[in-house]
Structure 1
Amino acid sequence: MNETQLRDLVPAVIGVLVRRGAAFASAEDAVQEALLKALESWPGDPPRDPMGWLVTVAWRKFLDARRAESSRTAREFAVDSAAVTGPAYGMDDSLWLYFLCAHPSLSPGSAVALTLRAVGGLTTRQIARAHLVPEATMAQRISRAKRTVADVPLDRPGSLETVLRVLYLVFNEGYGGDVELAVEAIRLTRQLASLSDDPEVAGLLALMLLHHSRRASRTDASGRLVPLAEQDRARWDTALIAEGVGVLQAALARDRLGQYQAQAAIAALHADAASAAETDWVQIVEWYDELLAIADSPVVRLNRAVALGEAEGPLVGLAELDRLDARLPRHTAARAHLVEAAGDLASAARWYAEAADLATSVPERDHLIRQAARLRQESAGRANRQQE
């Protein structure tokens, strides 16, 4: 069993310990210790029942830790150590833990961070990047969340809104890197959609399916990032697109528009275009306006500025971009794109080079460096032709 398969068992094992009476933070610590022991002993002597082995070892670790806390009264646990039962309401352990981590005692931000770390399996650095905050700040936030729930019985599930946001962030992290995370987020959202009649759950599922349909075309044979406009649309998964559009249409018919439905509508318009040139940018801008009315954010405004540049011309997009904070992630890359579209290749090359220095991932940085090099070459060629 490899590390990825081992990680997949973590939510279920944590779930067992929590249902036996362990506080969430203590359960997570115990499971992490069990995982370390598994990595040491399994290569030479793998167990026949990996799940049962982890539950047994983690439970022992938890009990050992409890006994070591002399200042506390030992709790009595009436659960048979061999019992491994699923949570209520038809949810599997992973989805159930998503709801428990969104406990009412936690703020939405803390609940999201804790769930991404403990259940989603993301590192503190990955979570900090998703929230656009320093890693040290996120580490403190997660520590505070653990302390908050240390002695709180996780018996009251949190808000659906918080769970959806966590699933959305897990998918985004997987979409940009670990495909297993994206697939797991889709699986859990699909399960949640079968249990809920909230159109936003369906909207999030549609959004994931539509984005995931393009995954095969997002990189070339050498692993280089391919922007949406240059992707080979023949490689898009038409079955996922059809499913996503169908789920979205059913959600929109409920006439309770939310941010995930609006984002899915934008993704559907991209999927509907046979080529980048045929994209209905006017309608995309309209959907961004709807999205801003529901969930205004600097990132949405940045994306709208780029769409406006495509719909009404790059100078209009640049004017809109000037109204936003230049420190926004990808603000410089968006400016480079619009300046290139306006025909100023030399300036665009400089903006792409600056954006590369600000990139948060290696594939994105390399793509921006190539864009800068391409425009320098084109700009030099244009200058030579003018001199002839």
Structure 2
Amino acid sequence: MEEPTTPTGHQAPRADAGPGTAVHHAHDAERTRARLANFWGSPRHGTSYGLELLRAMVSSVTAQDLTHDQTVYCRGLCESNAAAYRTSDVWVAPHTMGQRIAAHPFLSGRGITAGNLEDLAPARDGFVYFPTPLHLFDCQPLYGLAWHMAGTGDDLTTDVETITATRHLLPLLAAHTKLPGTPYCPNGMATLHRNVLNGYSNPDTFGAPGPATILALLLTFWDLRLPAPAPDETDIPQTADEYIVTVLQHIVPGSKKTGRSGKNKRGSRAPAKRPIRIIREPAHMPGPSDPAGSTAAVPARRWKDDTLRWEVRAKSQNRCPNPHQHRAIIEAGGTCPPVKVPVRAHRNGPKGRDTDPRRTVRIVPDRRDRDA
């Protein structure tokens, strides 16, 4: 499924790319992947945001600053994470994935046998984006989960990251750590090497689950990525569990551009594209109108099921002073001069949904601001 482009190489507008659609989520997932790669790899005054955050994570656990050897290790970890994000396979989870993950037996507290992760993993480097965030225990809502593998066999090292909204971390870390101005930011990390599991970040400070739970989240997603057949439909071939949407590769402002110099017009190349894997909603999941245990197909989702929240920024708005009698006053020949009413910043839309960063309602500014 190729993205149409204009003769200049820019993406052409699409009718199915609005908020809540698969194409919209694919663009959000690609944008998040690129920003996280830039977060771990791009230096800021010689130090990347990722290294600063990793230093704060380790300090929150050990109550001590990094030693020289630990700094060298964390710097290499940031570079490997950035390289993995640049080549990661990207998935977009369905809206029901969060509920299914939270109810999975792997997260019930029982022991888990990881087995050979190289055989279980759908890709050595991967990132899954949750359009509907995953709410687990008392942790911050999770908008993504990423894993990176290095080495093989007995020397295999697997790093797992949990991603949350940056706005959730700002009140906790603004005074100690410089966070990037991106919508999403890592808040927890676990590393598994030779059956030894290490965790970074204090759950009370960063709102991330513990290392064992992070590993269980990863294994749960790998287990649920393929929809299981219904009990009475084991002999019926299942449809494809995912399909691919191809989007333009997102370029983070300020990052190095690839390709030849702009002076050589003949050296211009077509913009890079990335395949984003969209996981289908399981066909055996009962819909809201189906009786419990029904194996009927899920009805088509309504537009409001995919509606995201949007921000309404303060300041004031012109409103009628007599809203209930307005029509009667106008029909009687009167007038209702509008009055300026202060409006607080708030969010509209269904509660519990993600906020669409590209949709913002700005209230009419104060007259003093307009005259300034």
Length-normalised TM-score, structure 1: 0.20
Q: Which has the higher helix share?
A: 1
- Which one scores higher on RCO, CA 8 angstroms, separation ≥ 6? 2
Length-normalised TM-score, structure 2: 0.21
